[in-house]
Structure 1
Amino acid sequence: MTKHVSPRGLRGTVSVRADATGDVKALLAELNSDWESFKATMAEKDKELAAKFDDVVTTEKLGRIESSVSDLQSAVDQANAQIAAMQIGAGQAEASLYDAEYSEAFTAHFRKGDVQANLNKGADDEGGYLAPVEWDRTITDQLIETSPMRQIASVQTISTAGFKKVFNLRGTSSGWVGETDGRPETGTPTFGTMTFAPGEIYANPAATQQMLDDSAVNLEAWLASEVETEFSYQEGLAFIAGDGSNKPSGFLTFVTGGSNATANPLGAIEAITAASATALDSDELLDVIYSLPSAFTQSARWLMNRTTQGKVRKLKDGDGNYLWQPSYQAGQPAQLASYPVTEMPGMPDVAADALPIAFGDFRRGYLIVDRTGVRVLRDPYTNKPYVNFYTTKRVGGGVQNPETIKVLKMGAA
């Protein structure tokens, strides 16, 4: 097993070698061992603080263990996502998605710019070429593995310029009548609509011609990796706080007072305001849970970033039990008050007026819209001696049911 945390901040993900179930079990064993050490060290620190004494050695030890717990939990989460992605792809017949003739021509175009007649089946007016199906599938699979929102939200593939959703706003009325009374007409239901328009996301990776000439280079894996990194980074930000201008509308913009608070016919996402601007309270987290209608709690989960998880990890209930619990078996995420936790790097930190924690059923609450197809334009002229591959995909998103999500808003400074 290897574990590495990238220094690229939000772009960084915990990379772990978890190709077999045995590796996941080893991660879980190490995670739970560190969690026990964390609880023991935290108890020692609590005794020190009660005695009005703060030992810097204990503080440093606690910080190291807490960081290790975060790293291991992220590694377990990624391993679980990889296992789930492999299970989803296991039932797909590759032969039905593979166009050998077109793919060979596409690869030749990548390496040397050779355009054959049979490549025209994917041509468009702008000079781009629709990627073969297996390329599009490879990119999508990697996004599922690395973009947390794609793991928990609904995804709708479209072939047009947008996607319109209809909302039933009720309105049907009824009344009590006697046996022989007249039956006057009652109110009829009303409907609302909301349009999800995709914006264009792009990546522009480059390679030297010598690299492309090298037959040992796996061009499909290289492009998928390059595009995945940029697409995942941009999508991760937009699904949370995107302003909807040529990009998805982030779910935090649908919170009461946000820029999209009136965009959905069903209303805005409710915010539960904390008493403090900087401190989290276990009772307030329970308030968030119970503010969500029971119809949506079965598949509900928490969303927060790594820093916020570190603060939540120290919270206890009235009996002295920690609200946060690590994964105990493969496929199981960390739990907070018995609900799974998804680490979302783009979520805000705990600060005055911030929205650091969200809770709800995101499968029913947030919709991602993918415009069918990834397009690649080969450009060997602009950046010599490099060959650029201008790759685009149209992606949209927005809240489809604000009733299924609640957020915790920190108090004012």
Structure 2
Amino acid sequence: DPNDIVTKAIGDLTETVNKRLDEIEEKTDTSKLEERLDKIEAKSNRAKGSDDDSDEQAEIEKKAFGCYLRHGNQTPPDDLKALTVSSDPQAGYLAPAEMSTEFVRDLVEFSPIRSVASVRGITGPSVKYPKRTGITNAQWEGETEEAEESTVTFGQLEVVPHKITTFVDISNELLSDSGGTAEAEVRMALAEDFGKKEGTAFVNGTGAGQPEGLMTHADIEEWLNGHATNLSADQMIKLMYDLPAMYRNAGTWMMNGTTLGIVRTLKDGDGRMLWQPSFQAGQPETILGRPVVEAVDMPDLESGSFPILYGDFSAYRIVDRLSMSILSDPYTQARKGVTRMHATRRVGGRVLQAARFRKLKMATS
């Protein structure tokens, strides 16, 4: 029957069209397009180094460092790859970036001199600074007179970094069971110890096997207080203005907390307080309009002591040769079940220009 043939042909055509429409709809499925776009975006983020990848990498480095503390050179190769190899001749592995940041932050807290001094990083065993020790000798001459020759003398100042080191024995069981807490405590203990030792050296260091301190430099001029125990406001003002204006206007006071408490009670001849609080967040308190650094290593108000230093601290140079190197030794004390961690730091300090400082002496003559 012709009608049946036509009906069958129409049915076959409709089925073919519906299948084709289903294929088109499947290819244009929005959910699958979104899935493909998500995959492309994920690949792009990995190439750029997204925050999630950075956090994941930091966690891998932290776990690898903890594994190295426990196993030393027996650490699996995959964990060793996650560590940063130290360039120090003694070899070893540096702490992950997060740990190094904690060290720097703690050192600033315990060494306030770093916040005002000039700090440089070096790669050699020392650094030398050329120094001009004199000026020319110009003279007034007549119209037909010949000029006189002058000479300029030069010298050198060398700043040598010195090594400060210690080691800590820590139980292998404690390292395994603490979940990273023991490592954090070791980091904090080292930071506190190294920071305190540095701060003391920057103030009172002898320069022999340690940095030269500000208060031990023989060429810094002293200003007499006029009394052995009672602090004089007038003498502090005179000490400040004894410096040339260029150094005075860039100066900073340094004293300990006990002395600072006494200075807060002093007034000038017109009854104005020498000390003024900070009126803006992040700004330091001031004495006679200049900032003050509280250094715990400065001496108290005693007869013959030097409790106050004023000057331009950019003339005190701190050089860092090695920030903080930690070397794990799981073998030496293996019979005792402990891992020995060696910590080393190399730093130097020296006064480059004594003329930029003045120190107050508690004495009458």
Pair 181,234 (structure 1): closer, same or farther in 2 beyond 3 Å? same
**1:148 and 2:112 correspond:** yes
Kindly provide the CA deviation profile for residues 76-131 of structure 1, in whole angstroms up to 9, marking residues without a partner as x.
Answer: xxxxxxxxxxxxxxxxxx97xx9998776444211333334646943766464444
How far, CA to CA, are the matches of 1:108 and 1:304 in structure 2? 44
Q: Which residue of 1 aligns with 2:229?
A: 278
SS at match of 2:102: helix
Measured after TM superposition, the shift of residue 409 of structure 1 is 0.6
Query: Which amino acid counterpart does residue 306 of structure 2 have in structure 1?
Result: L
Structure 1 unaligned regions, length at least 5: 1-93, 255-260, 262-267
Q: 2:356 aligns with which of 404, 410, 413?
A: 404
Structure 2 unaligned regions, length at least 5: 1-52
Pair 224,293 (structure 1): closer, same or farther in 2 beyond 3 Å? farther
Q: How does 1:59-78 map to 2 (within 5 A)?
A: none
How far, CA to CA, are the matches of 2:92 and 2:179 in structure 1? 26
SS at match of 1:285: helix
TM-score, normalisation: structure 2: 0.74
Measured after TM superposition, the shift of residue 412 of structure 1 is 6.2
Pair 335,292 (structure 1): closer, same or farther in 2 beyond 3 Å? same
Pair 178,123 (structure 1): closer, same or farther in 2 beyond 3 Å? closer
Q: 1:232 aligns with which of 195, 199, 207?
A: 195
Moved over 6 A (4+): 98-103
Pair 307,373 (structure 1): closer, same or farther in 2 beyond 3 Å? closer
SS at match of 2:300: coil
Q: Which residue of 2 aligns with 1:188?
A: 151
Q: How does 1:4-403 map to 2 (within 5 A)?
A: 105-113=64-72, 114-115=74-75, 116=77, 118=81, 121-122=85-86, 126=90, 128-131=92-95, 135-184=99-148, 186-214=149-177, 216-217=179-180, 221-254=184-217, 261=218, 268-362=219-313, 364-380=314-330, 381-382=332-333, 384-403=336-355
Query: Which amino acid counterpart does residue 300 of structure 2 have in structure 1?
Result: D
Instruction: Kindly indicate whether the alpha-carbon contact (under 8 Å) linking 1:353 and 1:411 is maintained by their aligned counterparts in 2.
Output: yes
Measured after TM superposition, the shift of residue 188 of structure 1 is 2.5
Instruction: Kindly indicate whether the alpha-carbon contact (under 8 Å) linking 2:110 and 2:199 is maintained by their aligned counterparts in 1.
Output: no
Query: Which amino acid counterpart does residue 292 of structure 1 have in structure 2?
Result: L
Instruction: Kindly indicate whether the alpha-carbon contact (under 8 Å) linking 1:371 and 1:395 is maintained by their aligned counterparts in 2.
Output: yes
Measured after TM superposition, the shift of residue 320 of structure 1 is 2.2
Kindly provide the CA deviation profile for residues 187-239 of structure 1, in whole angstroms up to 9, marking residues without a partner as x.
Answer: 12211111111111124344332332247426774444222100111011111
How far, CA to CA, are the matches of 1:120 and 1:240 in structure 2? 34
Pair 386,299 (structure 1): closer, same or farther in 2 beyond 3 Å? farther
Query: Which amino acid counterpart does residue 321 of structure 2 have in structure 1?
Result: R
Measured after TM superposition, the shift of residue 304 of structure 1 is 0.6
Measured on the aligned residues, the alpha-carbon RMSD in Å equals: 2.9
Larger radius of gyration: 2
Instruction: Kindly indicate whether the alpha-carbon contact (under 8 Å) linking 1:304 and 1:344 is maintained by their aligned counterparts in 2.
Output: yes
- Count of aligned positions: 304
Instruction: Kindly indicate whether the alpha-carbon contact (under 8 Å) linking 2:319 and 2:348 is maintained by their aligned counterparts in 1.
Output: yes
Measured after TM superposition, the shift of residue 164 of structure 1 is 1.2
SS at match of 2:212: coil
Pair 412,199 (structure 1): closer, same or farther in 2 beyond 3 Å? farther
How far, CA to CA, are the matches of 1:211 and 1:227 in structure 2? 18
Instruction: Kindly indicate whether the alpha-carbon contact (under 8 Å) linking 2:110 and 2:196 is maintained by their aligned counterparts in 1.
Output: no
How far, CA to CA, are the matches of 1:324 and 1:330 in structure 2? 17
